[in-house]
Amino acid sequence: MRKLRIVRNIRLGIKNLVLNGLRSFLTMLGMVFGVGSVIAMLSVGEGASQEALEQIRRLGSDNILLKSIKPVEDESASKQRTFISIYGLTYEDQRRIVETFSQVRRVVPVKAVRKEARYGSRAMEVRVMGVNPGWFDLVERPLLVGRVLGQDDLEGHSSAAVVSEAVARELLALEKPLGSQIVVHGNVFEVVGVVRSQENQGNGGVQAPDRENDIYIPLTTARDRFGDMIMRMTSGSRSLEQVELHQIILQVDSTEQVESVATGITTLLERFHRKTDYEIQVPLALLRQAEATKRTFNIVLGSIAGISLLVGGIGIMNIMLASVTERTREIGIRRAIGAKQGQIVGQFLIETVVLSTAGGLFGIGVGLLIPWLITWFAGMTTVVTISSLILSLVISLSVGIVFGLYPAIRAARLDPIEALRHE
């Protein structure tokens, strides 16, 4: 019997809303855009955070990245006159780290120089990366064809080169890449493999090669052919830089040891470097920071979108108060024939819930459309999660109940006799 009464009230509520279709539609718009904005903002925030987290994860949660940076005082001096700047990580740093920290499982030094590469009549600027074979294991670059560099290449100071997909496409064009002879700054290298290019990688990380046009050669060969001295020409001035290693990647035994080892390495480098010519990045710390930022970002966006829902709820309350006034005589008749206050409250609450639920469902449609449009036109990554859809629908239902409660109680407390006299 109770179920039948609820069903009857729902049908009555829908009928009343349909009779005032335009007003109901306009009232629902607040909920539609409120729910839609909640889903859209959360999807944009989720997409941005997932992309950032993925970039950090690519760096490896058990890795520590050391990077050479040019000190500020050297930057200012090099603009004024011919200047030789010696800075950055050294092979001695690598040796000290290996000998001091037993928790370090793998060390990958990297030397990077920019040079012009030529193949036949084609030429392009590339980044030559001197690496050891372990680099390909840490960075996890998919091999498209051929092979990566091996220990024999490193120890034999070979002229083997692995090129990125971008270099193979632009420099070698449609030629068969394996076995091709490319010339870099007067040195001939034989292409033995091609690895996939990856875009939008981590900021400043070792694994942020390309997008860049990269050529990977043995570290020993890079040191033999290009040395440690780099000449730079800028607006009439000339500067020389001596950098032994541009980056060092360290892989630690376990994630739990990463931060303590990083602290120890910082202390070690501070002891032997008189100036801050290096930078330490801990992907695990970046990951935790990114996750904390994600939570804050979602709270801020959710709060902004919640304001839209609040406005929608106020609109529902306003319309329901007007409805109570218009239906005063109807309420009086129902009370006169035996309807209880709870039944009047239930009827009006059902109407507000139907109104907010319908608005929430249409809002979900809008919320799915907006992220799709953002991705289509702006190219931004957006992620709509099931939890955001459920959360939005629950909030819209709650808004309907909260903002419909006062008009419903006001209707139930009307004096039946006064209500029947109402014109």
Each residue's pLDDT tens digit, 200-225: 444 334 444 445 688 999 999 998 88
In a domain, 282, yes or no: no
Higher pLDDT, 297 or 159: 159
Please indicate, yes or no, if residue 29 is contained in any of the structural domains.
yes
Rounded Cα distance, 195 and 91, in Å: 27
Quick check: is 20 in a domain? yes
Query: Is there a single domain that holds both residue 317 and residue 200?
Result: no
The owner of tokens 């005032």 is 20
Of 276, 309, 324, the residue that ends a domain is: 276
Q: Out of 231, 248, 276, pick the residue that ends a domain.
A: 276
With contact defined as beta carbons under 8 Å apart, do 87 and 70 qualify?
yes
Residue tagged 């959710």 (tokens): 302
Mean pLDDT, range 284-302, rounded to an integer: 75
Following CA atoms 128, 130, 132, 136 in sequence, which dihedral angle do they give, to the nearest 10 degrees?
Answer: -20
Q: How many structural domains are present in the chain?
A: 2
Residue 143 forms part of a structural domain? yes
Q: Is residue 233 part of a domain?
A: yes
User: Are 304 and 233 in the same domain?
Assistant: no
> pLDDT: is 72 or 250 the higher one?
250
Q: Quote the pLDDT of residue 166.
A: 86
84 & 232 share domain? yes
257 and 108 assigned to the same domain = yes
**160 and 103 share a domain?**
yes
pLDDT higher than threshold 70 for residue 386: yes
Token pair of 314, please? 């106020």
Residues 211 and 178 in one domain: yes
pLDDT value of residue 77: 59
Cross-strand partners of 409: none
Q: If you search the block for the tokens 């839609």, which residue do you land on? A: 36
Q: What is the pLDDT of residues 97-136, one digit of tens each?
A: 989 988 888 889 999 888 889 988 888 888 999 998 888 8
Determine the average pLDDT of the residues in 9-16. Answer: 74
Decide if pLDDT at 162 tops 90: yes
Q: How many CB atoms lie within 10 A of CB 157?
A: 15
Among 276, 304, 328, give the residue marking a domain's end. Answer: 276
Is the pLDDT score of 80 beyond 60? no
Residues 224 and 362 in one domain: no
For residue 81, pLDDT beyond 70:
no
Residue 19 maps to a domain: yes
Measured CA to CA, the distance from residue 192 to residue 347 in angstroms comes to 77
Q: What is the pLDDT of residue 204?
A: 39
Residues 312 and 214 in one domain: no
**DSSP assignments along 258-299, one per residue:** HHHHHHHHHHHHHHH-SS--EEEE-HHHHHHHHHHHHHHHHH
Residues 84 and 216 reside in one and the same domain = yes
Residues 261 and 361 in one domain: no
Give residue 47's Cα distance to chain centre: 6
Together in a domain, 301 and 409: yes
Residue 31 shares a structural domain with residue 109:
no
DSSP state of 127: E
Asked if residue 62 is part of any domain, the answer here is no
Domain of 270 in residue numbering reads as 70-276
In a domain, 222, yes or no: yes
In this structure, of 19-23, 143-147, 325-329, 351-355, the range with the lowest mean pLDDT score is: 19-23
